[in-house]
């Protein structure tokens, strides 16, 4: 199923291969460009990793390795609530991802396949929600959450994150569903499937690359969000990672030791989700973001 969608891409890649021959100089230039940009892309992250492995007192030295040690990590886990922040983040990001993917898939499908009153308005609304400045929404949302008793609850954050990620994801899924031939829906209906059945059994399995991108995007959004997280969650054990990390900077100036260690531990799950999604990323986006 997935192969069907991926074939055109591979096809074109092979064609390109047959054609252009490159001079060695051109190859060299391309590789150089890629190496330089890759280094720029990776270096800041790598530097944080290297710093986290140095004893805190050497944090601002420029040597790559210095008395490599894991003490920053052990201190971090022993002395702070890092593990509960981590657990909170996993819950919040996990729920946001699962719900976000489901909701944006149904929305995207409805917008892609059906004409219904309010469709144009909905598309515009989805776009317009991207334009709201966080700074202005944060106080009223805070008030709503406190009225509903959702402050300090993962659910409050999950709902808020859905409003951030779902509009973009729904757009992307719409674009992706547009590339799946309508004949498939029709054949499903001929075979007696309901619209929901068609969606669930036929279309969703075909939309895996799109779903992977959506999941990646929702996860990253929820995992890395700072403003809402630090406003809505108070009390040491309720913080998410983003909120927790602020503590190392604000309270005692910057504590680079625990901060770099925490950054690395935070980046790992994100990188794992990314690894899982990356093989779909290009195909998914190509159809998705793209046709919008």
Partner 1 sequence: MAVHTSQSVAKAAGDDVARGRSRGTGKSAPPSKLRRALSVHWYAWTMVAPVVLVIGVIIGYPLVRGIWLSLTDADERNVARSIGVNKMPATYEFVGLDNYADALTGNQFLGTLGWTLVWTVSCVTITFCLGMALANILNRRIAGRSAYRMALILPWAIPGFVSVFAWRFLYNENNGLLNKILGGAGIDGIPWLNDPAWAKFSVIAVNVWLGVPFMMVALLGGLQSIPSEQYEAAEMDGATAWQRFRHVTLPGLRPVSTTVVLLSTIWTFNMFPVIFLLTRGGPGEATQILVTQAYKFSFEISPRDFAQSSTWGVLILVLLMLFAMVYRRVLRTQGDNW
Pick out residues in 79-138 that bind partner 1 (CB under 8 A): 103-104, 106-107, 109-111, 113-119, 122, 125-138
Among 1, 28, 31, 70, binds partner 1 (CB under 8 A): 31
Q: What is the DSSP letter of 239?
A: -
Alpha carbons 89 and 225: distance in angstroms, whole number: 10
CB of 180 to partner 1, least distance (A): 14
CB of 236 to partner 1, least distance (A): 18
Size of the site for partner 1 (CB under 8 A): 110
Q: Does 48 bind partner 1 (CB under 8 A)?
A: yes
Q: What is the DSSP letter of 38?
A: H
CB of 120 to partner 1, least distance (A): 9
**In whole angstroms, what separates CA 232 from the centre of its chain?**
21
Among 101, 162, 180, 202, binds partner 1 (CB under 8 A): 162
Shorter beta-carbon distance to partner 1: residue 158 or 238: 158
CA-CA distances (angstroms) from residue 54 to 50, 201, 248?
7, 52, 17
Q: How many CA atoms lie within 13 Å of 244's alpha carbon, on the beta-carbon side?
A: 29
Alpha carbons 184 and 181: distance in angstroms, whole number: 6
CA-CA distances (angstroms) from residue 163 to 102, 106, 186, 291?
14, 15, 32, 22
Q: Output Rg (C-alpha) for the chain, integer angstroms.
A: 23
CB of 79 to partner 1, least distance (A): 19
Q: Which of residues 246-285 bind partner 1 (CB under 8 A)?
A: 249, 256, 259-260, 263, 266-267, 270-271, 273-274, 278, 281-285
Query: Going residue by residue from 169 to 208, which x/- string records binding to partner 1, judged by CB under 8 A?
Result: -x------------------x--x-xxxx-xxx-------
Among 56, 166, 180, 261, binds partner 1 (CB under 8 A): 166
Beta bridge partners, 253, equal 251
């Amino acid at each position: 199923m997935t192969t069907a969608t991926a074939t055109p891409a591979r096809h074109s890649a092979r064609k390109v291969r047959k054609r252009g021959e490159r001079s060695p100089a051109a190859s060299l230039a391309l590789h150089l460009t890629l190496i330089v940009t890759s280094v720029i892309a990776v270096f800041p992250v790598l530097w944080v990793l290297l710093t986290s492995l140095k004893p805190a007192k050497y944090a601002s030295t420029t040597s790559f390795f210095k008395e490599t040690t894991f003490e920053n990590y052990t201190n971090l886990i022993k002395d702070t609530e890092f593990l509960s922040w981590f657990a909170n983040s996993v819950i919040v990001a996990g729920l946001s991802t699962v719900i976000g993917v489901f909701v944006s898939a149904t929305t995207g499908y409805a917008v892609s396949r059906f004409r219904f009153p309010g469709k144009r308005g909905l598309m515009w609304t989805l776009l317009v929600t991207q334009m709201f400045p966080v700074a202005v929404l944060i106080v009223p949302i805070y008030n709503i959450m406190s009225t509903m008793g959702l402050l300090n609850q993962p659910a409050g954050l999950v709902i808020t994150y859905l409003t951030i990620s779902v509009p973009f994801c729904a757009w992307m899924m719409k674009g992706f569903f547009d590339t799946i031939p309508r004949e498939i829906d029709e054949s499903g209906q001929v075979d007696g499937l309901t619209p929901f059945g068609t969606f669930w059994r036929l279309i969703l399995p075909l939309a895996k690359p799109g779903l992977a991108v959506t999941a990646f995007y929702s996860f990253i959004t929820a995992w890395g969000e700072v403003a809402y997280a630090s406003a809505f969650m108070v009390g040491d054990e309720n913080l998410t990672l983003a909120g927790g990390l602020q503590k190392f900077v604000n309270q005692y100036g910057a504590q680079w030791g625990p901060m770099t260690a925490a950054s690395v531990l935070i980046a790992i799950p994100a990188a794992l989700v990314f690894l899982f999604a990356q093989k779909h990323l290009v195909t998914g986006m190509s159809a998705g973001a793209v046709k919008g």
